[in-house]
Amino acid sequence: MLSVIVPMYNVRDYCVTTLKSLAANARHDFEFIVIDDCSTDGTDRILQREITKVPGGVLYRTPHNSGISATRNAGLRLARGRYVAFLDGDDWFAPGYLTKLVDAIEQLGVDFVRTDHIRVVGRKREVVRAPQGTRGVPLSPIDSIMPVNVSTMVDYPLVWAGIFNREALAARDLLFFDETLRTAEDRMWTWRLHLYTDSYATVDLAGIFYRRDVTTSLTRIPDERQLDFIPCFDRVAREVAAHPWGEAIMPKVIRTYCAMMAIHLDRAEMYEDDVRELLKSRSARALDELPQELLERTLLEMGERRSALIDSVRERVPAHAAARPEAPAVSLPRSPAAVRTPATDHHATIQHPAADDVNYARRPARQGVTGIPSQPGRRFVPRSARIPA
């Protein structure tokens, strides 16, 4: 019924709470796929001890650190449930939350369901509502991208705040994360769901606790990985430009891109000098490649401070600026990218997959729930989700 994918990396202070929350949600038809991404702080030893206390829990370990996207993808390839959900290694579920989540998607019959969440800062708890105000009814994902100047569901890229029909997403080549993105992979994934799926819903359910103040979180690490929002939105822009509704949606892409860029430029001092220079040069190059008339209109509509931050790097495309490499176009593997080799009843390792890649067939056009056509022939070709041995 449900597969929950839980990547773990250097979360020894939190992983016991996370596993206890899985046990408090266990059902005979739930499986909990816990993957340690080669932690160096002793997380793996704690997981080996505690996983035996989680009904339906199985522990895997990557041969070497692979990153959040590759770890999630390995879990997705191991998943057997009709539905999938995600949980980060330092967060936790409320007891009984997953049953309510499954009930919601079963009753609504949609491709995915999004929920609210509870933000945790120290001892403080705050419910954060998903931007969609219409609750408990099927909606068109593409209709929920706009408007431009309001926070919408593509601005809520929290993949752990929801549940997804694994079979429906796999049929549209939407299931896997882009492994070339070390950060912002969730934004790319969320945009593609809203561009190409048929239906979704948001429900009044807040049962996932998100730790906001974890120092090891990627959002808190000031290195070059933070700059992957640039290739992320470059790819989103290309997807939208090729979409039948691209002209109407592109202003939202550029507005969000500029807002993200302004946030990073505003906190540029947190980066080392070389990363700060990369941020500015790559931002300048990205801005130069956007539709200039639409960019000008976007900047006029943004606040003065953010517009000034964007303008500060425009016209700044030095010859030595580092180019953003294109992701290699490879196909997804035919067989699971990771296989379970039982070491104990609860512990297994992830092995190198077979290298029999195939190209996926072009999917036919389909009508969405509001008559908006899905784009024919679009497919996702991320870097292979294989974990190197």
| Average pLDDT of span 180-189 | 95
Range of lowest pLDDT (65-79, 80-94, 154-168, 341-355) = 341-355
pLDDT in tens, 340-378: 333 334 445 444 333 222 222 222 333 332 323 333 333
| Residues 177, 185 contacting (CB under 8 angstroms) | yes
Asked if CATH classification 3.90.550.10 holds for the domain at 2-217, the reply, yes or no, is yes
* pLDDT at site 155: 98
Of 367, 382, 381, 374, nearest to 242 (Cα)?
374
How many other CB atoms are found less than 10 A from the CB of residue 4? 26
Residue 330 has pLDDT above 90, yes or no: no
* pLDDT at site 214: 64
* pLDDT at site 291: 93
Residue 335 has pLDDT above 70, yes or no: no
Residue 218 has pLDDT above 60, yes or no: no
pLDDT in tens, 224-262: 889 999 999 999 999 999 999 999 999 999 999 999 999
Q: ∠ CA 57-18-115 to the nearest 5 degrees?
A: 100
Residue 327 has pLDDT above 90, yes or no: no
Distances from the Cα of 290 to the Cαs of 61, 232, 283, 284, in angstroms? Answer: 41, 14, 11, 10
| Average pLDDT of span 47-76 | 97
| Average pLDDT of span 98-102 | 99
* pLDDT at site 89: 97
CA–CA separation, 63 vs 348, rounded Å? 11
Residue 183 has pLDDT above 80, yes or no: yes
pLDDT, mean over the chain: 83
pLDDT over 90, % of the chain: 74
Residue 26: exposure state from Cβ atoms within 10 A (0-12, 13-18, ≥19): middle
pLDDT over 70, % of the chain: 79
* pLDDT at site 269: 85
Domain ranges of the chain: 2-217, 224-315
| Residues 4, 98 contacting (CB under 8 angstroms) | yes
Residue 39 has pLDDT above 50, yes or no: yes
H or E stretch at 310: helix 304-311
| Average pLDDT of span 109-126 | 97
| Average pLDDT of span 313-342 | 42
Distance of CA 4 to the CA centre of its chain: 15
pTM surpassing 0.85? no
First to last CA, the chain: 30
| Residues 83, 2 contacting (CB under 8 angstroms) | yes
Q: Does the CA dihedral 106-239-382-151 come out positive or negative?
A: negative
pLDDT in tens, 284-312: 999 999 999 999 999 999 989 999 999 99
User: CB under 8 Å to 307, separation ≥6 — which residues?
Assistant: 299, 300
| Average pLDDT of span 15-21 | 98
| Residues 114, 144 contacting (CB under 8 angstroms) | no
| More confidently predicted of 336 and 221 | 221
| Residues 82, 169 contacting (CB under 8 angstroms) | no
| Residues 73, 174 contacting (CB under 8 angstroms) | no
| More confidently predicted of 103 and 279 | 103
